[in-house]
């Protein structure tokens, strides 16, 4: 598509709320997943360390 200004680009022909909203939701889900992965990794390392110390 061809937009004449940044405002028209952001509006996306009237669908801007849906387009940018979907990008926002996707970004939020990816961030939550990354934080969850980091938490699970820390718990796994702590469990392995505790198991090795308990030997």
In the block, tokens 């360390």 appear at: 49
Q: Is the pLDDT of residue 3 over 90?
A: no
Stated pTM of the model: 0.73
3-state secondary structure the chain: CCCCCHHHHHHHHHCHHHHHHHHHHHHHHHHHHHHHHHHHHHHHHHHHHHHHHCC
Give residues with Cβ within 8 angstroms of 22, minimum separation 6: none
CA pair distance 22, 12, nearest whole angstrom: 13
Q: Which two tokens stand for residue 16?
A: 């801007």
pLDDT digits (tens, 9 = 90+) for 9-55: 888 889 999 999 999 999 999 999 999 999 999 999 999 999 988 76
């Amino acid at each position: 598509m061809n937009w004449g200004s940044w405002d028209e680009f952001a509006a996306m022909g009237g669908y801007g709320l849906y387009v940018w909203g979907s990008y926002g939701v996707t970004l939020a889900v990816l961030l939550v997943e990354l934080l969850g992965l980091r938490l699970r990794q820390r718990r796994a390392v702590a469990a392995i360390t505790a198991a090795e110390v308990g030997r």
